Structure 1
């Protein structure tokens, strides 16, 4: 098995291109299919005890991998039978592998699926052309045993992670060369169960021609800002946060995260004297002001701004957005700032990073649809901002079409205030000179790592204290 964290994500079309380029370079396709089937058989032997095994074989290359796995498992003493949905195309690699299978063949039926102790799903791969329905869906639904899926569970779109027709729940998925987006995006990530990435001999050099635009998030994609002997609070940047008067906890969480992530100075701009007094009586080290936005913008050192946590989506917020963008400052727009732009995405044109959750995104840009990555791409292209579309499968999209998928967020992050912490973390990284795309990706990964270190019972404020340890973990990867 290859290392799990190869960063490139290949769509089904890009994976097909990789196969074609390998063939053009002289890599025998039959040898690659043999290696894929061997990887599946090896995974089955490592994960499961020998038992009555049924290989559900489709007519394409996925089915060819299944025939190889069946042959190798039978050679290892496993009781294996193959049920074929349809014969492979004459002359294809799959047909060659089907001819090498001399073991039992059984009807492609619900009864056979129901009596198996292990089912190897080799019907359709990640590049499924149409929804899975009819007999194929009925047989997959009849499986009572664990399913080992080859490439993806049949019915799962490898590009989007969405089910097309019926898609079974796999216990284990074995895929090859590089992960597909559908292995990380939901619900695909859940349907795959445990996902193993196998090296089958495809040369990494094919990636140069493909130039994939999607990556899996991790410290190898970015580097956190460092400190040197000459660093001081101004070289580390000055972040200004527009703070609300009612939900004061949101801005305080963002400010705390920004400080812990390395911003040299953090100013909370309060809307009135009452709110300013409250902010001044909390954490020491925070700067608090009631000065007008125009006055603060006159200070050229205030390069980075965060607008949104705890703010009402009202005219005052819209006015602040326009002024900060017009001044050419770096702007992270979150929460109330996104609410203020509901139905008016042009208001965010010129912002640096947008951090919507699904509901906020829909209110600004319209429904996400089946392709989360493509929706984020469109929003980024429309506004010129990096768009971080939050969720358990957070997607970060750049205006030039690049996408990073973050999949390290544990369920414990589903609690109030974590979005404010994330916004503050990202703004602090931006303040210290990180490029917007990398700052958004790093912030998402750091929050997931901090939450993982805490475990159950997480509160948003817990994340703040764990951010330094999460940052230190990037140096260990």
Structure 2
């Protein structure tokens, strides 16, 4: 956004005019949200975010609202537009340490914006604690102070805002956790910067939504049949661990795959057969069995990992499918099987088209990509993108703020997955949904994005008390 602001100024836009629109938008929101406030307390920082605060304070005073300004730095030290805003404010201000909360106060946080990349000073941390202890409502300007706009991580301490007013577009810190929980309701205000300047700096990072996959998803036609809708195969674990594969298979069937087969060890056939109706069953015990199974070219898409158990066989099966040109969703035990052999996995799926989707949770991500997981300088989207480049496939970095990343540099953040998904078997269901979408012909990134979205929507439709069985049954096609 700093580069966007600079580009706007270079095109002849009045930078102070942009600041005035931003600050006045915050004032308008404050008056609308808290018409009964006894006093608006505006906390002004040392940069342009503080300048927005001074503009806001001036607008509140013009509206007749009781307003008090507390400054982090001596106003004489301000420069540029921030200095002009402070001068135009023309009211008095006090040092930050003079602020004492009063019942009826509404705090407008204009200390630091989205560009914060360091720990907040001790006096700010103490102020945040004071405001939090007093349970005062906070309106954040751009982003709650203390949050890193690129990662959503807390830099020492951060305000918990009831409302955030940001400008032109949301930032990653508004969507990634814990930032999402600290922003409250986020309002995006267009201050008049040409959108082409924003797009030029935004990069290929999106909030996950149907527009990502809609153009590549083929709608069912009247002449379609089950084979045209795709055949999904899910590998089963041993006879004592067959449930995870069945969850994946059922989710794949519900998500629209025309046929779904569980490829089961001979010893687990009976355990699987007793639970299956529309889902087919095949005996696949070893590499030779898999070779025979792959002779049918219609068997293009596979899920490997849920409840699978055997790491050596998992590696052999995954490599075989990569070499055979198949699509694979690698989950759970399949991911862990490659913890010391990631290069082998990447080599097996080399090629122009991306055919591999890997779906790790936090622990599995650290096992498969330890050097990336340990890099504290990277935000979650950057970690997911680095992992996608390393493995040559799409990475679904799961969590309450799941990030889907492609080796071509695209990434999406899911923001509507409910906490009820934190239940055993939920990831198995997701793997089956993504597999079904791959089987139907969606490219890997689009299939992963759609799968994550459908997974969250199914959970929302079930509501509290969700189990993985409920989740699989609630899946709808894209």
Match of residue 9 from structure 1 = none
| 1:384 paired residue among 381, 386, 392 | 392
Return the offset for 1:90: 5.4
Match of residue 10 from structure 1 = none
CA deviation vs aligned residue, 1:416-449 (integer Å, no higher than 9, x gap): 1111110000010011110111110111111111
Preserved contact between residue 70 and residue 99 of structure 2 (Cα < 8 Å): no
| 2:261 paired residue among 267, 272, 275 | 267
SS, match of residue 109 in structure 1: helix
| 1:339 paired residue among 314, 336, 346 | 336
Preserved contact between residue 394 and residue 406 of structure 2 (Cα < 8 Å): yes
Preserved contact between residue 335 and residue 356 of structure 1 (Cα < 8 Å): yes
Match of residue 32 from structure 2 = 46
Q: Partners in 2 of 1:255 and 1:263 — Cα distance?
A: 10
Return the offset for 1:109: 1.1
| 1:71 paired residue among 46, 49, 58 | 58
Gap change, CA 1:107 and 1:114, over 3 Å in 2: farther
Preserved contact between residue 70 and residue 98 of structure 2 (Cα < 8 Å): no
Preserved contact between residue 170 and residue 191 of structure 1 (Cα < 8 Å): yes
Match of residue 45 from structure 2 = 58
Q: Partners in 2 of 1:200 and 1:70 — Cα distance?
A: 18
Gap change, CA 1:327 and 1:128, over 3 Å in 2: same
TM-score between the two structures when normalised by the length of structure 1: 0.91
Q: Partners in 1 of 2:46 and 2:99 — Cα distance?
A: 21
Q: Partners in 2 of 1:457 and 1:150 — Cα distance?
A: 37
CA deviation vs aligned residue, 1:106-151 (integer Å, no higher than 9, x gap): 2311643567711111111110142102222222221121211111
Q: Partners in 2 of 1:313 and 1:271 — Cα distance?
A: 11
Preserved contact between residue 153 and residue 169 of structure 1 (Cα < 8 Å): yes
List alignment gaps of at least 5 residues for structure 1.
Answer: 1-14, 472-477
Q: Partners in 2 of 1:51 and 1:214 — Cα distance?
A: 41
Preserved contact between residue 60 and residue 88 of structure 1 (Cα < 8 Å): no
Gap change, CA 1:377 and 1:74, over 3 Å in 2: same
Q: Partners in 2 of 1:165 and 1:213 — Cα distance?
A: 29
Q: Partners in 2 of 1:447 and 1:129 — Cα distance?
A: 33
Structure 1 residue 199 corresponds to structure 2 residue 190? yes
Match of residue 439 from structure 1 = 447
Mapping of 1:44-443 within 5 angstroms? Answer: 44-48=30-34, 49-86=36-73, 87=75, 92-109=80-97, 111-113=99-101, 117-143=105-131, 144=134, 145-210=136-201, 212-223=203-214, 224-245=217-238, 246-272=240-266, 274-291=267-284, 292-349=289-346, 350=349, 352-366=356-370, 367=373, 369-370=375-376, 371-443=379-451
Preserved contact between residue 247 and residue 311 of structure 1 (Cα < 8 Å): yes
Q: Partners in 2 of 1:158 and 1:359 — Cα distance?
A: 25
Work out the number of aligned pairs and report it.
455
TM-score between the two structures when normalised by the length of structure 2: 0.91
SS, match of residue 466 in structure 2: coil
Return the offset for 1:391: 0.4
SS, match of residue 205 in structure 1: helix
Q: Partners in 2 of 1:221 and 1:161 — Cα distance?
A: 23
CA deviation vs aligned residue, 1:328-371 (integer Å, no higher than 9, x gap): 21111001101111233223312610000001111111135542
Q: Partners in 2 of 1:253 and 1:124 — Cα distance?
A: 47
Q: Partners in 1 of 2:257 and 2:86 — Cα distance?
A: 61
Gap change, CA 1:114 and 1:328, over 3 Å in 2: farther
Preserved contact between residue 261 and residue 467 of structure 1 (Cα < 8 Å): yes
Match of residue 475 from structure 1 = none
Q: Partners in 1 of 2:192 and 2:224 — Cα distance?
A: 47
Match of residue 352 from structure 2 = none
